[in-house]
A and B are shown apart, each in its own frame.
Chain A
Amino acid sequence: MTENLFITEETIEGDDDGPLAGQTVAVKDNISTEGVRTTCGSEMLSEYVPPYDATVVSRLKEAGATIVGKANMDEFGMGTTTETSAFGPTENPAAPGYVPGGSSGGSAAAVAAGEADLALGSDTGGSIRCPAAFCGVVGIKPTYGLVSRYGLVAYGNSLEQIGPFADSVEDAAALLDVIAGEDERDATTQEPPHDSGTRAAEHSSYADAATGDVDGLSIGVPTELLEGADEGVVETFWDTIGDLEDRGATYHEVSLPSVEHAVEAYYVIAMSEASSNLARFDGVRYGNSGGYDGNWNEAFSKAREEGFGDEVKRRILLGTYALSAGYHDKYYKKAQDARAWVKQDFDEALEEADVLASPTMPVPPFELGEGLEDPLQMYLADANTVPVNLADLPAISVPAGETDGLPVGLQLVGPAFGEKQLIEAASALA
């Protein structure tokens, strides 16, 4: 294998039978696996072996799945290309020479390369949907609170969810069936409400909702999410909308003025949370200590200087800055306002539409090595995915075709806990 899909290749057998018996699953390396090292793509945790399983891993095992390895990722989930991994970049199996997207690049690529039937990733600001789009596979970012985060090494804990990758919407939905639902170890989880009154709510499982029925489906297209996007991507997007129209769906344009501020709000919140979530890596209880003697302040600083890569340091420092005395109200508090505003905008738009559609990524995959030098330009590539995390909503990325031979993804966003209607609509395409 040449793509560098896994950080650790190790087989973890599940129970003998269950809904996923006989299926192989790649698990992103920020999801804890008991007895199998979980590095988060970081030098800091290169030797860290969790003494417990993440809830989703326990559920995979109980469902009979076989875990085939811990998939490569951007360090601690911070990146859009999987190039910030301390274990080297992953190449896109669907577009050699290009990045697989990130941060769950190894997971998406493992499915695209046929090295795993299914994969788990995590999505803080697009980290499932981006690599799904770039690698030409399906990825679902669930509603915040649908899937337990217990055992997911936190980056932006108010934003992120674990979600599935697969070649088809139906297979991804079947994996979602296994991992979704309340967990007593994650106080932010909840059972989806029963009568959401949405399309497809009557199906008894997510997989059952994958009927491909889009007859009468009302699609809202936020104009802001098309502005500035690559022409080839936009063209592919409209072709796909046309395809859905041919099968009985209708579309109308909607406006979400708040999303103009989504990227900055997202980065302020995610970096602030990251600065706190990653504080625990000081080399005392786990992680690389650097082996320094002397005063704890120096020892901690050196352990973290050695253990963390540039992008992680950048986000920790900016997050620390945004929360620090004198700046908290200007950045963090304002970002929370922006988040509430984005949520409001989406809720309103979804009153007039069953789903909202946009290109998942405004651009086709980057060439390997292309974007690392300018962090801000890289952040702006997340413009279409981050608003969904700010709004806590579910979204799916499905392959929508190609531009210049490179995969393009279509993103559908639904109301809170409206995963079934997203699955029903998206299954018309893959």
Chain B
Amino acid sequence: MSESPETADPEEVRHVAQLARVGLADDEVDQFTRQFADILEYFETLDEVPEVDREADLANVMRPDVERDSLESEEALRNAADTEDGYFKGPNVS
């Protein structure tokens, strides 16, 4: 294949960071842009890989529809930064 190598630009880094919900400072954007260029260029060699069939050796691993103990509500909430009346409390979704 003769596609030109992908080179990530700062816009793309910001876009991906937005998709992944990772805030980045401007200097981080610059640093990642440079590093991604190298790394993505290296990943380009995957183009040379032929198509190979795969088959999973395990299948149909299931459990019976039988109830198990749940966590105590207190334990479930213990690690939350903020709770209210047994609920996890999170930021608004507007």
Interface string of B47-88 (1 = CB under 8 A from A): 111111110001001110000000100011011111000001
Interface bits B19-47 vs A (CB < 8 Å: 1, else 0) = 11111100010001001101110110111
* Interface range, A side: 35 or more
Known: A268-B43, A289-B81. 13 other contacts (CB 8 A): A49-B79, A51-B71, A260-B45, A294-B91, A295-B92, A299-B90, A301-B17, A318-B39, A318-B40, A335-B46, A337-B52, A338-B46, A341-B52
Residues from chain A with Cβ under 8 Å of B94 in the complex: 295
| A142 proximal to B (CB < 8 A) | no
B20 touches which of A187, A268, A316, A341 (Cβ 8 Å): A316
| B-chain residues with CB within 8 Å of residue A187 when the two chains form the complex | 58, 61-62
Q: Mark A50-61, 1 if CB is under 8 A from B, else 0.
A: 011000000000
By beta carbon, the residue of chain A nearest B62 is: A187
CB distance B46 to A324 under 8 Å?
no
Q: Which residues of A contact B45 (CB under 8 A)?
A: 260-261, 264
Chain A 326-346 interface 0/1 with B at a Cβ cutoff of 8 Å (1 = within): 010011001111111101100
Residue of A nearest to B31 (CB): A310
| A252: B residues at CB distance < 8 A | none
A130 an interface residue at 8 Å Cβ cutoff? no
Task: Report if A14 contacts B (CB, 8 A).
Answer: no
Q: Is the interface of A mostly helix, strand, loop or mixed?
A: helix
B16 & A48 in contact (Cβ 8 Å cutoff): no
Is the CB of A300 closer than 8 A to any CB of chain B? yes
| Of B8, B22, B35, B92, the contact of A308 (CB 8 Å cutoff) | B22
Contact B35 A375 (CB under 8 A): yes
Residue of B nearest to A320 (CB): B20
- Chain B residues in the interface with A (C-beta under 8 A): 3, 6, 8, 12-13, 16-24, 28, 32, 35-36, 38-40, 42-43, 45-54, 58, 61-63, 71, 75-76, 78-82, 88-94
Q: Beta-carbon contacts of A271-312 to B below 8 Å, as 1s and 0s?
A: 000010001001111111101111111111110110010100
Given contacts A313-B22, A340-B54, contact A376 B42 (CB under 8 A): yes
Interface flags, A378-405, vs B, CB<8A=1, else 0: 0100000000000000000000000000
Q: Which of B46, B47, B54, B71 has most A Cβ within 10 Å?
A: B46
20 A-B residue pairings within 8 Å (CB atoms): A188-B61, A260-B45, A265-B49, A267-B43, A279-B21, A284-B80, A285-B79, A295-B94, A296-B93, A299-B90, A301-B22, A310-B28, A318-B36, A331-B43, A335-B46, A337-B51, A338-B49, A339-B54, A375-B39, A376-B35
The answer to whether A314 and B78 have CB atoms under 8 Å apart is no
Chain B nearest Cβ from A420, distance in angstroms: 19
Contact B21 A297 (CB under 8 A): yes
CA distance A119 to B39 in the complex (A): 33
Given contacts A305-B22, A314-B32, A376-B38, contact A261 B75 (CB under 8 A): no
Asked whether A145 is an interface residue with its Cβ less than 8 Å from the other chain, the reply is yes
Q: A285-B80, A337-B51 are in contact. Are A320 and B19 (CB under 8 A)?
A: yes
Contact A49 B38 (CB under 8 A): no
